[in-house]
Chain A
Amino acid sequence: MNKRAYYGNYGGQFVAESLMDALEELDAAFEEAMSDEVFQKECSYYLKQYVGRETPLYYAEHLSREYGMKIYLKREDLNHTGAHKINNVIGQILLAKRMGKKKVIAETGAGQHGVATATGAALFDLECTVYMGEEDIKRQSLNVMRMRMLGAKVVSVRSGSNTLKDATNEAIRAWARMAEDTFYVIGSAVGPYPYPKIVKTFQSVISREAKKQILEAEGRLPDAVMACVGGGSNSIGMFAEFIAEENVKLIGVEAAGKGIETGEHAAAMALGEPGVLHGMRSYLLQECNGNIRLAHSISAGLDYPGVGPEHAYLKDSGRAIYVSATDTEAMDALLELCKHEGIIPAIESAHALAYAKKFAEQIVRRMGEEAAGEQILIVCLSGRGDKDVNTIADYLDGRGYLN
Chain B
Amino acid sequence: MNRIEEKMQQLREKQEKAFITYYMAGFPDLAATKQIIKAQERGGCDVIELGVPFSDPVADGPVIQNASYRAIQNGTNLEKTFALVQQIRNEGVSVPIVFMLYYNTILHYGIPAFAQKCSETGVDGLVVPDLPYEEQEDLLRNLAESDRTILIQLVSPVSGARIKKILAHARGFVYCVSSMGVTGQGADFHQEIKTYLKNVREVSSIPIMMGFGIRASDDVIPLKNLIDGAIVGSHFIQIMEEKNFDPTVAETYCRKFKTELNN
- Chain A residues at the B interface, C-beta cutoff of 8 Å: 1-2, 5, 12-18, 20-22, 159-160, 165-166, 169, 172-173, 176-180, 274-279, 284, 286-287, 289-292
Q: Of B61, B79, B108, B177, which is within 8 A of A17 by CB?
A: B177
- Chain B residues at the A interface, C-beta cutoff of 8 Å: 53-61, 65, 69, 72, 77-79, 102-109, 129-135, 137, 154-160, 162, 166, 177, 180-182, 185
Judged by DSSP, the binding face of A is mixed
Known A-B contacts A276-B104, A277-B104, A289-B77; the reply to A176 vs B59 at CB < 8 A is: yes
Q: When A and B form their complex, which 9 residue pairs have the shortest distance between CB atoms, in order from nearest?
A: A290-B108, A177-B181, A18-B156, A291-B55, A289-B77, A276-B104, A21-B158, A290-B105, A14-B130
A selection of 23 A-B contacts at a CB cut-off of 8 Å is A12-B134, A14-B131, A15-B132, A20-B159, A21-B159, A159-B65, A169-B57, A172-B58, A173-B59, A275-B104, A277-B56, A279-B130, A286-B104, A286-B108, A289-B72, A289-B78, A289-B79, A289-B108, A290-B104, A290-B108, A291-B53, A291-B55, A291-B56
Query: What's the Cα separation between A325 and B137 when bound, in Å?
Result: 39
Contact in complex: A290, B59 (CB < 8 Å): no
Residues of B within 8 A of A169 (CB): 56-58
Residue on A nearest B156 in the bound complex, by CB: A18
Contact in complex: A15, B130 (CB < 8 Å): yes
Contact in complex: A180, B107 (CB < 8 Å): no
Residues of B within 8 A of A5 (CB): 134
Residues of B within 8 A of A14 (CB): 103, 130-132, 135
Q: How far is the CB of A212 from chain B (nearest CB, A)?
A: 39
Q: How far is the CB of B147 from chain A (nearest CB, A)?
A: 22
Residues of A within 8 A of B154 (CB): 16-17
Query: What's the Cα separation between A279 and B103 when bound, in Å?
Result: 10
Residues of B within 8 A of A289 (CB): 72, 77-79, 105, 108
Q: How far is the CB of B155 from chain A (nearest CB, A)?
A: 6
Residues of B within 8 A of A159 (CB): 65, 69
Residue on A nearest B136 in the bound complex, by CB: A1
Known: A12-B135, A176-B181. 8 other contacts (CB 8 A): A16-B58, A16-B154, A17-B155, A20-B133, A20-B134, A160-B56, A177-B182, A274-B107
Residues of B within 8 A of A15 (CB): 130, 132
Query: What's the Cα separation between A277 and B107 when bound, in Å?
Result: 11
Residue on B nearest A176 in the bound complex, by CB: B181
